[in-house]
Amino acid sequence: MTPDHLTLITLCIFVIAFLYSTVGHAGASGYIAVLSLFSVAPEAIKPTALTLNILVASICTVQFWRAGHFSWRLFWPFALLSAPLAFLGGYFNLPADIFKILIGVILLFSAARFLLRPPTEQDPTKPPRLVAILSGAGIGLLSGLTGTGGGIFLTPLLLFKHWASTKQAAAVSALFILLNSSAGLLGNLSSTKQFPTFALALVVAAGIGGSIGSYFGSQRFDPMIIKRFLAIVLLVAGTKLVLTL
């Protein structure tokens, strides 16, 4: 990787961390899109995205928790089985073509949901416990396989099923992402025994972007505006990944 490429990637990581953290996400899907577009090897993408995810999700968790948006009662059923399955998913490395297709479809699906059916604020209802546990398990496995923290799946689920308010969904997703990303990274390192050193250069950019974004997202910004902008970013990135196979 050339210094110019690393500089551009670092700038993109900062912007992604800022934008995603405003809605309680850590940015893995965005990091994956950027690293893929810069032709980073697929085996290096997953641990890099998970490492940045752990950092930004930690920051988001603290910010949204301090702002009073976190609900343990909502969180634990989704988290119960997610970490073990995220570890299992992180242990396996998908072939490059399958990896790109899966990520592209994930990004496009997420974008379509936010663009076509934006969630409205309603009084939250309690999710059925078994549904929450099984949903968390499935999201955990998928998060480990793809190198994401699962927030890109959990947040839309919580919002469109009206199981949480916007900022409550962000707070719950932040800790969910932290849990799954940690398990996924452990699974990946157990399998590959390798870690891309260039990822360390991106940590500062992600940390700064995540700190600023999560502060404004938890206390200042209207998350719906940011979600619409993110939908456009995900749409472009997902289309690019699918069309360049």
Q: From residue 98, give the alpha-carbon distance in Å to each of 38, 103, 135, 171.
A: 18, 9, 23, 31
DSSP conformation letters of 135-192:
HHHHHHHHHHHHTS-SHHHHHHHHHHTTSS-HHHHHHHHHHHHHHHHHHHHHHHHHHH
Residue 90 pLDDT: 81
Spatial CB neighbours of 245, under 8 Å, sequence gap ≥ 6: 97, 100, 101
Please tell me the distance from the alpha carbon of residue 26 to that of residue 24, in angstroms, as a whole number: 7
Tokens of 181: 């990303």
Name the DSSP letter for residue 198: T
Please tell me the distance from the alpha carbon of residue 64 to that of residue 155, in angstroms, as a whole number: 14
pLDDT in tens, 212-235: 999 988 887 776 776 677 677 678
Tokens of 212: 């600023």
3-state secondary structure of 193: coil
pTM assigned to the model: 0.83
> How many folded domains does the chain comprise?
1
Give the CA dihedral 232, 28, 200, 215, nearest 10 degrees.
70
Buried b (16+ CB within 10 A) or exposed e, 21-53: bbbbbbbbbbbbbbbbeeebebebbbbbbbbbb
Range of the domain at 47: 3-243
Residue ranges of the chain whose pLDDT lies below 50: none
Say how far residue 221 (Cα) sits from the centre of its chain. Answer: 19
How high does pLDDT run on average in the chain? 84
Residue 96 pLDDT: 60
Say if residues 34 and 6 touch (Cβ distance below 8 Å): no
